[in-house]
Each structure stands twice: as C-alpha cells, then as structure tokens.
Amino acid sequence: MQITPFWASIALLRVLPVLAQTTPTPTPTSAAPSCTASLVTSLCSYPTPGLDFAVASDGKPSCWNYCNAHPPCNFVIFAAGNPLTGTGTCWLYPGESFDASAGSSDCANPYLSVYDQPVCRGSGTPTSGSCAATATPSAVASVCGYPTPPDDCFSTCTASENASDCLSQCAKADSCSYVVFNPHNPDNSPYSSGTCWMYPSGTYDARAATTCSGPPEQFVYKNECPKPSPSSSPASSSASSSATARSSTETTKTGSTASGTVGAGTAAVADAALATTSKTSASTALRLTNPLAIYMAVLLWQGIA
Ligand SMILES: *[C@@H]1O[C@H](CO)[C@@H](O)[C@H](O)[C@H]1NC(C)=O
C-alpha cells in the first residue's frame, strides 16, 4: 500500500496543529489558591464558632484557603494545636466581623491568631455558568413560619449545602423568583446545610411570615439571576459563540434569523474550526521541511495505525 504513507502524513499534518492548539494551559482554578492574610491580634479566648465552622487545619495557609472558599468570610482564627507540626483548628465566622471586645489576651500564651480577610491569588470564580450574585447572597428577610411553595414541595424543594447553593439552584431552575432557605444545622446558619424552597413566581410576602420566638429559622433571598424566559432568547449562547467564530474567520454566513440560529451557528463554528485548522496546517507544513522529520512523522503514524 504505497499510498498509505502519503495519506498518513497528510493526516498527521492535520492532526499536529490541532494537538498544538489544544495543549492545556494551566487553569488557575485547578490549583489551590495561595493566600496571605495579615495578623490582627493574638488572643487567649474568643467565642467559638458554630459546630459546622471549626475544622482541623494543617496550618495557617489552609485556614486562609478555607476562609477564602467560604464567603462571606471577613476574618478567621487559627487556634494553634501542635506547635511542632503547625497544625491546629480553623475557626470561621461567615458573615460576621471581628469583635475585639469579645476576646481576651490576658494569658501567658495567646494561642489564637486572628487574621484579617485573606487575599488570594488564583482563586478564580468557581461559579461557572451561574451568576455572581448567588455567591455571596444577602437575605432580604430572616423570618419564621413562612409557608412552603404553592405545590407543597412536590417539585420545588431540595436539599442544599448552604444558602448560596440554594440560590444557585434557583438561578438554574426554569422558573424561580425567590427562595426560602431553612437551615437544618446546629447553628441555624445560612452558611451551612439545609432545605431550599423555590418559589416559581411572585415575590416574598412579608405578611405570610410569623413572628419568631427565638432566632430566625428561615432566610429569604431574591433571585437576582433569573433564567431568561424561553421565548425571548432562543439558544443565546450558541448564537454568541457563532458570532465570534464568524467574525474571526470572515465566514460569509450572515443574516441567520433567530429561528434558524442553532443550525447555522453550529455550521459556522464547524467552518471556523476547519478554516483555522487548515491555515495552521499550511504553516506547520512549511516548518516541517526537514525530510527526516517528515519520515519520522510517517513512521510514527504507521506505528500508531
Ligand atoms: C456553599 O455550598 C457550595 C456547594 O457545596 C460550596 O461550593 C460553597 O463553598 C458553599 N459556600 C459557603 C459560604 O459555605
């Protein structure tokens, strides 16, 4: 089969630039962020956080990371455990500010290090596909006795990691205008796990809540990132990506109407991919003028095939 090496080399030349293009670039989100934080003070005592917010920590940097990963975290306390290994416990107080008057430093060995909000590099935004407003939501009300959604939780209530998770579930739902987060954790904290009630329409009605006998048991959040209604945007993301592809390759496929966007968009993207590939192939071919390199490439290809 004399023709094989020829096709193989052509195929290889087409594959190489693709491989080159898809060489993974380091993504900042894959690595743990590196954080620094400034020491505010050292204490002997401070009110301990809720049960869910004291975690074993292998050192101060992990403690800063932990704070960074649980917004809103305005300060964090590292309680030194073992001075030889540097391990300890990390105390988190989501949503609270440091209250100097609540602590004491009257002891020989202040083992609590209070740090300001950490500054982190490479923390990225883990909220891919969701709207930023869900990351650090602020409750429009903290109440008790608010009724379940109209379908009595048949399809509108879910388990949720925290209020922010609840709100991002709401943002992903087809219709969700506000949520009530019911913490089911020892501290009644919206920053820990609970049940998420999603209201498909309407707005929070303050008159439907009852007075709390103790601390609030429900936290209400408005959905700031509702899904666009299906009628107003057919496949908007595909339309915008095809627009990018079109402009970069001067594809002449223009004027696709809203109703035909999906098919035309996909074709344009495919065209764009081909155009880029063949253009790069040509330049790679020019660079691969060394006969030895071509021969090696062909041998390699035959080895694979
Ligand atoms: C809320 O839960 C999500 C999903 O588990 C998590 O990624 C996020 O860090 C949590 N946020 C807080 C403030 O604990």
Structure confidence by residue, pLDDT tens digits, 190-230: 999 999 999 999 999 999 999 899 989 999 999 988 877 66
Residue 55, ligand 1, Cβ within 6 A? no
State the CB neighbour count (10 A cutoff) for residue 177: 16
Q: Is the confidence at residue 41, as pLDDT, over 80?
A: yes
Residue 191, ligand 1, Cβ within 6 A? yes
pLDDT band at residue 121, thresholds of 50, 70 and 90? confident
pLDDT band at residue 124, thresholds of 50, 70 and 90? low
Residue 164, ligand 1, Cβ within 6 A? yes
Q: Is the pTM of this model over 0.85?
A: no
Q: Give the residue, by CA position, lying nearest to ligand 1 atom 5.
A: 161
Q: Is the confidence at residue 288, as pLDDT, over 50?
A: no
What distance in Å separates the CA atoms of residue 279 and residue 206, rounded to the nearest whole number? 62
What distance in Å separates the CA atoms of residue 272 and residue 241, rounded to the nearest whole number? 11
Q: Provide the residue type at 75 as one letter.
A: F
In the prediction, which pLDDT does 225 show?
Answer: 82
- Ligand 1 centroid from CA 162, angstroms: 6
Pocket residue to mutate for ligand 1, from 164, 166, 191, most atoms within 8 A of Cβ:
164
pLDDT band at residue 129, thresholds of 50, 70 and 90? very low
Architecture in CATH for domain 34-121: 3-Layer(bba) Sandwich (3.50)
Pocket residue to mutate for ligand 1, from 52, 65, 70, 221, most atoms within 8 A of Cβ:
70
Average per-residue pLDDT in the chain? 72
What average pLDDT does range 72-88 have in this prediction? Answer: 92
Percentage of residues of the chain with pLDDT beyond 70: 60
